[in-house]
Amino acid sequence: PRSTRKESSAASDVYKRQGSMACATCHVYVEEKWLDKLPKADDGEIDMIDMAVEPKKNSRLSCQLIVSDELNGLIVTTPAKQS
């Protein structure tokens, strides 16, 4: 399927920043059952999440999540106002 201009732009922005936590456009909600399987967010990520749209206790920056076989099946969602 083709992505929308907004989706392509957001993906491009994340790629350009290369996980530098310069924004919170990659803010996601991680399904609760996966939280303990992820490394804890560091202070920089926590600070950036505090500035994100609708932060919750299960908020993470997807640019800080390292994809691995252990995370196969991980489900994340975006805040409604960010989508």
- Write the pLDDT tens digit of every residue in 11-29: 555 455 555 667 889 999 9
**65 exposed, middle or buried (CB, 10 Å; 0-12, 13-18, 19+)?**
buried
Tokens coding 71: 């995370």
The predicted model scores a pTM of 0.73
pLDDT at 1: 45
- The DSSP string of 12-80 is HHHHHHTT--S--TTEEEEPGGGGGGSPPP-HHHHHHHHTSSS--TTEEEGGGPPP-GGGTT--EE--T
Contact 40, 58 (CB under 8 A): no
Average pLDDT on 22-51 reads: 94
